């Protein structure tokens, strides 16, 4: 039995991307900065983190994760409850 999506999302958010040398090196190759103070967007960073985590740790759907993150909670267990809560 595979873990529930919420559990995977929480593990993804706790993953130490800043301390992961392999991820940091890959990020520098993907987004080389030539200008002082240049940054990447939050969307680009989330996509890079997802790609790394999805390939090397645990696959999950990025669109579903983003919906979960926007709502901040696990989706309702039944469709009826979801309609009433809106």
Summarize the confidence of residues 10-38 as an average pLDDT.
89
pLDDT per residue over 42-62, tens digit each?
999 999 999 999 999 999 999
> What pLDDT is stored for residue 72 in this prediction?
61
pLDDT at residue 30 tops 70: yes
Of the listed ranges 9-13, 21-25, 64-68, 78-82, the one predicted with least confidence: 78-82
CA distances from 22 to 29, 38, 52 (A): 11, 21, 9
Summarize the confidence of residues 6-20 as an average pLDDT.
94
| Helix residue ranges per DSSP H, 1-86 | 5-14, 21-30, 42-56, 62-71, 79-85
CB 44 within 8 A of CB 50: no
Q: What is the CA radius of gyration of the chain?
A: 16
């Amino acid at each position: 039995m595979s873990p529930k999506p919420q559990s995977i999302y929480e593990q993804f958010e706790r993953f130490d991307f800043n301390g992961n040398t392999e991820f940091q090196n890959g990020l520098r190759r993907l987004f080389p900065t030539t200008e002082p103070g240049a940054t990447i967007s939050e969307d680009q960073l989330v996509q890079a983190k997802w790609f790394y985590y999805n390939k090397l740790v645990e696959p999950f759907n990025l669109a579903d994760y983003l919906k979960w993150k926007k709502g901040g909670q696990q989706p309702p267990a039944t469709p009826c409850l979801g309609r009433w809560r809106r």
